[in-house]
Amino acid sequence: MEIKIMKNILDRNQNKANEVRNLLLLKKVLMVNIISSPGAGKTTLLERTCETLGEKFRIGVIEGDITTDRDAQRLKKYNIPIVVINTEGGCHLDSHSISKVLDSFDLDNLDVLFVENVGNLICPAQFDLGEDFKIALVSTTEGDDKPGKYPMLFREAKAVLLNKTDLIPYTNFKIDFFRDDLQKINAQIPLFEISCTKGQGLSEWYMWIEEQI
């Protein structure tokens, strides 16, 4: 019974995601769905990206959070359009909530819309929001064994960002193990090794995301 219910929910989500995707295609807005564990650095990545690409591209952000607008507050200083979706306990964003807030953006004057999903490595990977692609963000302090343990996201994503590389010397994180583990799940996926707080390794990410836009 639960499988049938889940299938219905996913089917309804997929229909609305297709609508969102068609609208954004028409408006020529790239939508990027950023998924990670709590505290892996999604907001800091957006801060760095707004700082560097904010002059060149018209950026908008949808902030998904269970409650509070803390992440949105951190992005206010970039003077970009930001809309917060509070899921009130919900563990992921879905295409219906995205569809509702798209009216709040002037889509004709936007190049890219970043969606910061709820901090969760599992459920958000199952829900298409109508994005062009998903990004998996994972931090070294979470350990080097995450691709194998949480494979769905690493299969679904178009790129992986490994954040907090500056903390590797203080942990037992083995980068070769991580790379091998990721390759077993998704052999072709681009991997960016970065530190958002220290600003390391980000130029490759900026170049890659520019190409996508």
What's the rounded Cα separation, in Å, for the pair 131 and 92? Answer: 14
User: Residue 10 or residue 23: which is nearer to a copy of itself going by CB?
Assistant: 10
Kindly tell me which residue out of 10, 101, 152, 191 binds a copy of itself, with binding defined by CB under 8 A: 152
Identify residues 34-63 at the interface with a copy of itself (CB under 8 A). Answer: 37-40
User: Residue 56 or residue 198: which is nearer to a copy of itself going by CB?
Assistant: 198
**Distance from CA of residue 40 to its chain's centroid?**
11
**String of DSSP letters for 180-197:** HHHHHH-TT--EEE-BTT
Contact 49, 30 (CB under 8 A): no
Specify the DSSP element, H or E, that contains 8: helix 2-27
Kindly report the backbone phi and psi dihedral angles of residue 134, in degrees, each rounded to the nearest multiple of 5, phi listed first: -100, 150
User: In Å, what is the CA distance from 92 to each residue of 22, 50, 178?
Assistant: 22, 24, 26
Identify residues 109-148 at the interface with a copy of itself (CB under 8 A). Answer: 118-123, 126, 139, 141-143, 145-146, 148
Residue 81 engages a copy of itself in binding (rule: CB under 8 A): no
In the shown chain, the binding pattern of residues 162 to 181 toward a copy of itself, with x for contact by CB under 8 A and - for none, equals: --x-xx--xxx---------
Q: Which residues bind a copy of itself (CB under 8 A)?
A: 2, 5, 9, 37-40, 65-68, 70, 89, 91, 118-123, 126, 139, 141-143, 145-146, 148-152, 164, 166-167, 170-172, 197
